[in-house]
Amino acid sequence: MKPFIEQAQFYAAYHQNVQTRYTHMAGVPIIILSVMILLGFVKIIMPGVFATNLACLGTLIALIYYFRLNWQLALALTPIMLILLLIANWFSQDGPTTLGVWSFVVLFIVGWGLQFYGHYLEGKKPAFMDNLSQALIAPLYLVAELFFMAGLMQSLKAQIYGTEKDTL
């Protein structure tokens, strides 16, 4: 597993334009929610032991990964992910209903539309087209950007961008 700083530097190289970062601030959570809805349709049941779905399992695995990369950012990301999971489970709890499926489809299209619009403004292809793991790093990177905007974790910002780079 590559360190967070190395992955964030790669990701940052594809996201120099401020508008791209703004579209990602909206697009990434929308995509995560849509995928959680889809995964929520797949139930995992062991009678008398537990009942869950792939969205819960996937969120747990993603959070473990994020905590291994940077526990402080992951701690801030956890409530966001849990709120998205709660919303996704509401849409998917009864299986693939009309509302659930359409919610997935619309959110997925809107989320990716925002992503590709941001990259159109940037004039660069998305980072995940060169390295698929970049799709996984996006939520943690965006939380880091929020911290940087608040004046926090400036040493991490300097490691990712150098001392001269402005963020959002």
Domain boundaries, the chain: 4-160
Q: For 56-111, write each residue's pLDDT tens digit.
A: 999 999 999 999 999 999 999 999 999 999 999 999 999 999 999 999 999 999 99
What residues have CB less than 8 Å from 127, skipping those under 6 apart? Answer: 10, 11, 13, 14, 15, 134
Phi-psi region of 95 (alpha: psi -120 to 50; beta: other; left: phi over 0): left
Residue, of 36 and 11, whose pLDDT is higher: 36
pLDDT number for residue 163: 65
User: pLDDT averaged over the chain?
Assistant: 92
Residue, of 96 and 20, whose pLDDT is higher: 96
